[in-house]
Structure 1
């Protein structure tokens, strides 16, 4: 999610070098930063990237910018590139993937390039506010003609198209879908103590008390990167106030003083009493591994965790681990979608459009998503290509209410999210609800929600 977030421990792909940028850098700010991006994933070539034909002409090429370098997602990207090259053998592919930080490093490099008017031909960005920040900056071209030409307007859910649109103009092609509101649990532990996966917060705390009494950590958390705690809270928030109010909050139509927001923070604060004591030193994979190893019983994480369980840890769904939606969100789908668009000034626009066509195609989405562990954004996927979890997610995606993720850049602008993550780090330490709400209001004043 990131997802968007890499499946398994991120591996630094051979040939990728970058300068680690300061965390103080505002995402999207026009700050001149010296970034060394000498080559991308795979075999290097004289033009500084991985190409389909290193000896061919550079006149017909496409530079693809992403953070897909981890296990699963890198394989999915290579499957897309292979499909693209089969259809476009005369176009070179420069794979400018940047590793590390669950996309943080890539976003910083991208911000530097975009603000220097040196955009890649197309780039990975989350649907929603993160994409719209580039639209509002006047950096993106609309894709309505492409959607019409490819017949996509009825192939994606309307709610999803709305997330990549503004004022009737479409700016992104969604390639995958991850679900953010999933509670994963160790089936053997739940069977051992005769527990039922929680549907409500009361159910959660009843299970947690039983587990704690038997010396099992009820809820695994790894929030070293901060966004993990924000993600846990946004799921609690959705389960507390419901989808309509949740959407109103990010549209600036509901105050952070709303009693439901305070109630969600009270529940979240109580949940933190049941997490592992070393959570601040762990990342999300570590927390998932605690559940896999039976050292913890539950973990709330996006469904990239499924890919980690099955691909990295070789666990079997419905045998070693199970899943339910987070408490109170049974009919909601917290959607996290990677999209690609067409930047203004893209040096190889024809190549970018050709790649976008592959991304939005049924063949492209069914080549990519089974390897990444996500589900397709299209509604006409070949479900036989997907495992039991993904098939259930595909079914829910078609019927549930889609809600944007704050933690992954879809619900609110990057400036607001940055402020929330900083405030969350303090809240997890001191539990001061009133102070956190005040900081939420201040963040919204400084970074207005639309």
Structure 2
């Protein structure tokens, strides 16, 4: 789930940005004004972040304070953003701004009438500086409510350069090549992939990348909105493709049983830890943070990535996720909250966290040349350069009961499929049943 994927995990990310010319233009920021016009006011911000991520976001909030004079207070919600924010609204203690980690939750908030439409200043900045796809994901019913401040690139396969070199292979260009290379890695003494199946969200990410490349963006969008049933042949085909990987004991470290007992950090450890068991691990750009911070790997030298490869002749997928800033109508300081959102829309605000590390921005005005290393630049180039071909994480667009609940819905059913991938049609039928109940259709 994005709640975990870009919150708990990206906090470790060691990818860093240098401050580029675009980010530090020297003039006052339109949103902040630089005139301390908000002195004496306080903006309350709620979000899932904790630990290093919360500290880095606080640097952004401190920069806002330096420009406007407004004080800020951050409240960590944990994973259950919707429940916590709803309770605060009912209790008369609504935050001014919420950093929402799911499209589905943003849509839920908007439909409940909780959100303030973005100001003309914010809309103008977002229209100019963000690809339309990010505007669409921040909109409900044609009204723009959310600014995607922080993004994740979730179509990256991370590998040990030593493992690939030992096997005599180079990063593959297609999914079939990746599986073939995986057998070559296995022959050299390591399993091909570490799979973190204990965390069901990792399996949804696997499915989404295969499905987007194989079925195409139109069907991806239809399935994400449940306008296409999960019993569609395209879903069965993607599950069949994924099942070939899951059931191949040469490809999955420890086989299916061990994969189901391995969480996401554990899957990274199996590749980049002190006793490697696999040559590759699929997940988002946040893998780099775990590899660097927990296992001391130098990104670009001891750990590198290649784009998730094209499946069956389709285009290479670019699946993303992110955290959107929204302003609540019931906040105590809605005006100052909107000024914060206007500031977050600027490349200067993005640069503050970017310099601290563990951050990717969908803001096109944050010059790609400002990225401090080749790996970060490649990740950002792929994400921003994909433009409107980017697709937001499908499970994060779904109702939480289907796409984001441990032990239920898509998470559980894909774990069951990892355990026994012998009947893709049956799994597709179970997914459709769960989806129909969660979507109410």
Pair in the same fold by TM > 0.5: yes
Q: Secondary structure at the match of 1:210?
A: helix
TM-score with structure 2 setting the length: 0.82
- How much has 1:219 moved relative to structure 2? 0.7
Task: Quote the residue 1:206 is aligned against.
Answer: 180
User: Which aligned pairs between 1:251-290 and structure 2 lie closer than 5 A?
Assistant: 251-273=225-247, 274-277=251-254, 278-290=258-270
In structure 2, the residue matched to 1:394 is: 380
Structure 1 length as normaliser, TM-score? 0.81
The runs of 5 or more residues in structure 2 that have no matched partner are: 13-37
Unaligned runs of 5+ in 1: 11-56
Structure 2 CA distance, aligned partners of 1:225 and 1:58?
Answer: 44
Relative contact order (C-alpha < 8 Å, sep 6+): which is higher? 2
- How many Å apart are 1:316 and its aligned residue? 2.3
Deviations 1:356-408 (A, max 9, x none): 1221111101111343423212101033244322212332233321111024x
Q: Does 1:342 align with 2:327?
A: yes
1:178/1:304 contact within 8 Å kept: yes
Aligned partner of 2:7 among 5, 15, 38 = 5
Q: Which residue of 2 aligns with 1:325?
A: 307
Distance 1:164 1:196, change over 3 A: same
**Match runs of 1:24-39 below 5 Å:** none
Q: 1:423 aligns with which of 406, 413, 431?
A: 413
Task: Show the counterpart of 2:15.
Answer: none
Say whether residues 1:185 and 2:185 are aligned partners. no
CA offset at residue 211 of structure 1? Answer: 2.3
Residue in 2 that maps onto 1:69: 50
CA displacement at 1:281 relative to structure 2: 2.9
Structure 1 residue 200, shift from structure 2 partner? 2.0
Indicate which of 123, 134, 137 corresponds to 2:98.
Answer: 123
Q: Secondary structure at the match of 1:374?
A: coil
**Which string of whole-angstrom CA distances, capped at 9 and with x for unpartnered residues, describes residues 242-267 of structure 1?**
22321222233433232221111112
Question: 1:95 and 2:81 equivalent?
Answer: no
In structure 2, the residue matched to 1:378 is: 363
Q: Partner of 1:172 in structure 2?
A: 146
Q: Is the 8 A contact 1:190 1:196 kept in 2?
A: yes
Helix, strand or coil at the partner of 2:171? coil
Check the 8 A contact 1:180/1:303 in 2, yes or no. yes
In structure 2, relative to structure 1, the CA distance for the partners of 1:382 and 1:310 (3 Å cut) is farther
Which residue in 1 is equivalent to 2:204?
Answer: 230
Deviation at 1:190, TM superposition (A): 0.1
**1:8 Cα offset (Å):** 7.1
In structure 2, distance between residues paired with 1:331 and 1:434: 25
State yes or no: 1:404 paired with 2:404. Answer: no
Question: 2:157 & 2:353 partners in 1: Cα distance?
Answer: 25
Where do 1:10-49 residues align within 5 Å? Answer: none
Cα pair distance change 1:449/1:307, threshold 3 Å: farther
Q: SS where residue 177 of structure 1 aligns?
A: strand
Rounded to whole Å, the distance in 1 between the matches of 2:350 and 2:103 is: 20
Once residues 215 and 433 of structure 1 are traced to their aligned partners in structure 2, the CA distance between those partners, rounded to angstroms, is 30
Distance in structure 2 (CA, Å) of the matches to 1:116 and 1:442: 36
The answer (yes or no) to whether the contact 2:7–2:50 under 8 Å persists in 1 is: no
Residue 124 of structure 1 aligns to a residue whose secondary structure is strand
Of 197, 204, 215 in structure 2, the residue corresponding to residue 241 of structure 1 is 215
Tell me by how many angstroms 1:155 deviates. Answer: 0.8
What is the match of residue 443 of structure 1?
434
Residue 288 of structure 1 and its aligned partner are, at CA, apart by 1.1
Q: How many positions carry a matched residue from both structures?
A: 395
1:303, 1:374 within 8 Å by CA — same for their partners in 2? no
Counterparts in 2 of 1:392 and 1:115: CA distance versus 1, 3 Å = farther
Compared with structure 1, are the counterparts of its residues 325 and 241 closer, same or farther at alpha carbon in structure 2 (3 Å cutoff)?
same
Cα distance, 1:61 vs structure 2: 0.9
Larger helix share, 1 or 2: 2
3-state SS of the aligned residue for 1:143?
A: coil
Aligned-partner SS, 1:320: coil
For the 8 Å contact 1:239–1:326, the answer to whether it is kept is no
Q: CA deviation at 1:437?
A: 1.0
Aligned 8 A contact 1:307 1:372 in 2: no
Aligned to 1:83: 63
Cα separation, 2, equivalents of 1:362 and 1:161: 16
